[in-house]
Structures are given as structure tokens and as C-alpha cells.
Amino acid sequence: MSADVQLDQVWIRFGDFVAARDVNIHIQEGEFFSFLGPSGCGKTTLLRAVSGFSEPSEGRVLIGGRDMAGIGPNKRPTALIFQNLALFPLMTVWENIAFSLEVKGVGTKERRKKAEELLELIALPGQGEKMVSELSGGQKQRVAIARALAAEPDVLLLDEPLSALDLKLRQHMRTELRAIQQRVGITFIYITHDQGEALTMSDHVAVMSQGIIQQVGDGNTIYDQPETAFVASFVGENNLFKGKVSEISGDYALVDTSAGNIRARTSKGEERLSAGDEAYVFIRPESLKIANASKFDNRIGANIKQQEFEGSFWQVFFDVEGSDRDVKLSTVNDGSTLIHKVGDRVDLGFSADMAIATPAGELAAE
């Protein structure tokens, strides 16, 4: 079974501190949903409200359409995988996995059988007799997943479960998690501050900052059509030009920045730009081109400051007048050597569709 999860005008306060501010999200049944945000933005807090360890100060949490107010974590159809896994070190692997069955009073024989099935699922067959301390990091990870799945939850909640693993294992576990989710077909709510994880695994991502949901969408939308300055600066790399809107025409804005006038698409968030507003213009490094003769909507004069070779692509950094940040360009290494040298003066060009103008606002920390 699987269930949808609805957060309806949820506020969570700790004294005067607001950890979640008016959160409205509908997570569909059976989807892989991620909350993405920097450390301390309130991700764990929200997840605890879903799992029942805390109640929202205001608003409702609905699972499968049922209001969860007053229902404790042991009675909710959710299972939580903790940031530090919280496996029981004094029990064997199979006892850990079958713990929820033990609680329900299932007999030993059946528990063993179920544990063995789940060990099969997580690719650790026959390892049930080991103690948790005898497992590697990735194996512990998988045991924690199996322990949660054994409870047959409608919704599985995962609180940065991969953060303790090294890079290689993390990438491997991503694929594995996604595969497990598709096999069991239940709703996964996944928390992470790693955008790579969120974008590769999820059907939908909610980007959060300081207790506020900035944007909800699929990975592509989040990356290509950020709605707020925070999302644009947090997800992926972006060059930023600050300025003032001088003109709005349809879906485009003309922004007067220190590097000159830039035409850009306007963001589609709740807050819309109008002439005279402070605005930020974002351009991805891969959308910037060194403009020779070709036509571009926008052109910026720049000096090459540094060129870095990264194997499959080049990173080029520029000084732009009136901007205190380096502007970065990345281009695929297609075998043709770069024709420019450090110190050269060039024009950077990009189309208006590749640039996005958002209302000035909070930026992600570098």
C-alpha cells in the first residue's frame, strides 16, 4: 500500500523561532519526493512532523487523506530512517530488520523468514546472524532501509541517509534507493542538502530555505526555471548580475545591470517583476558563449582571468566591469584547443531564453 501526504498550511515554531513557515505541499502516492535545502533550514523538523515526533504548531498533516493530529509515531503508517540510522547495536541484523514484526507479536519463525526476504531485497542474503557493528557503512545503510520496510509503511521517510557514506558509495546507493523505491512502490520522502541526490532520484523536489518552501517541481523545472533568487543560486551553478528592471515585455524583462542591459526571461514565481524593481539575473556557466561573430540577445565585455582544464570540459573565469564576482563559463572539451589566452578581451554572449530574471531576494550561501 502507498499513500499520499499533504502538508496543509503547516507552521512549526520553537518558542519565537519559526522552523517551518506556512508549508503547503501535496506529495503524490508512490512518488519519490525530496526536500532540498541547506543545513538548518528545517528539513528534519518537517519530517518529524510527518512521522509524528512533533506536531505542527499550526496546520494539518494528512496521510492517505487522514488527519494525523494526535496520532503518535508508533501509530502512523510511516517509517523513518534516521540521519544516523539508529540501528540497535545489541541485536543481530535479522532481529533489527524484524523488530517491527516482533512488536506486532509475530512468531520467531515467520520473523526470520520475512527478515531473510528483506535481506534478499537489499542484497545481503544470509547475513542475518551478524551483529550490526560487523557491517560496513553501506551495509548498515541497507539494513536500516530493510528495517523500515519490514514495518510495511505506506510512506518511507529518509533523513539524509547517505550523508555518512563516501562519495562512491553514495552514488551507488542513490541508484539502489531509487530501484528499491520502484520495486516496493511506496511513497518516499527524502531529505538532503545534496542537490545531486535530489535531482537524480526524485520525481519532485521541494527547495527549502529558512523554513520556507521556495519552489516545488521536477528536477528539470527546478534547474531550468528557478522561481526565486534562492533556488537559482542554490541549485547548480549560476552567474549573477544585480540590477533594476527597466522594461517588461511579455515574458521578458530588460534589466539594467552594472555589466550593461540584459534581456532575460522573467521567473514564474508568485512574486512577479515589474518595471523599476530590483532584480537578479542568473545565467548558467554552460549557457555563456564567447561571442565571435554570431548573434546573441545579450553581450557583455569581459577579460579572461583564468582557464581551468577539467578533462571533459573547460572552466573559464572572467572579470567583468562593475561586477565584484568572477563570471564563469564552462564549455565542452571537443578537442579543439581554446583559442583565447588569459588576459584577452572578449565578448560574452547568451540568449535571453537562457538568462532568468528573478526578484532580488535571499541568496544561497556560497
List of residues contacting another protein (CB under 8 A): 51-53, 72-75, 78-80, 82-84, 86-88, 90-91, 99-100, 102-104, 147-148, 151
CB nearer another protein, residue 72 or residue 276: 72
CB nearer ligand ATP, residue 41 or residue 355: 41
Among 40, 72, 125, 322, the residue binding ligand ATP under the rule CB under 6 A is 40
CA–CA dist 320, 327 (Å, integer):
7
Cβ(118)–Cβ(41) below 8 Å: no
CA 159 to chain centre: 12
> Given the C-alpha cell 518558542, which residue does it identify?
15
**Could you tell which of Mg ion, another protein, ligand ATP, none binds residue 40, using a CB distance below 5 to 8 A set by kind?**
ligand ATP
Instruction: Dig out the grid coordinates for 185 from the structure.
Output: 512502490
> Given the C-alpha cell 565584484, which residue does it identify?
324
* Size, binding site for ligand ATP by CB under 6 A: 12
Q: Tell me which stretch binds ligand ATP (CB under 6 A): 39-47, 196-204, 289-297, 324-332.
A: 39-47
CB nearer another protein, residue 36 or residue 79: 79
Cβ(302)–Cβ(319) below 8 Å: yes
**Site map (CB under 6 A) of ligand ATP, residues 180-219, x = contact:** -------------x--------------------------
Count the neighbouring beta carbons within 10 Å of the beta carbon of residue 23. 23
**Residue 355 is a binding residue for ligand ATP (CB under 6 A):** no
Question: In the range 22-61, which residues lie near Mg ion by CB under 5 A?
Answer: 44
Cβ(217)–Cβ(203) below 8 Å: no
Among 25, 29, 45, 319, the residue binding ligand ATP under the rule CB under 6 A is 45
Give kind and range of the element (H or E) at residue 316: strand 313-319
**Could you tell which of Mg ion, ligand ATP, another protein, none binds residue 45, using a CB distance below 5 to 8 A set by kind?**
ligand ATP
- DSSP for residue 92: B
**Site map (CB under 6 A) of ligand ATP, residues 144-183, x = contact:** ----------------------------------------
C-alpha torsion angle, residues 246, 249, 250, 256 (rounded to 10): -30
**Which amino acid type is present at position 179?**
A
CA–CA dist 41, 208 (Å, integer):
7
- Asked whether the CA dihedral 275, 325, 294, 343 is positive or negative, the reply is positive
**Residue 43 is a binding residue for ligand ATP (CB under 6 A):** yes
Cβ(144)–Cβ(163) below 8 Å: no
CB nearer another protein, residue 147 or residue 204: 147
Among 7, 41, 177, 222, the residue binding ligand ATP under the rule CB under 6 A is 41
Could you list the residues that contact ligand ATP (CB under 6 A)?
14, 17, 19, 37, 39-45, 193
Could you list the residues that contact Mg ion (CB under 5 A)?
44
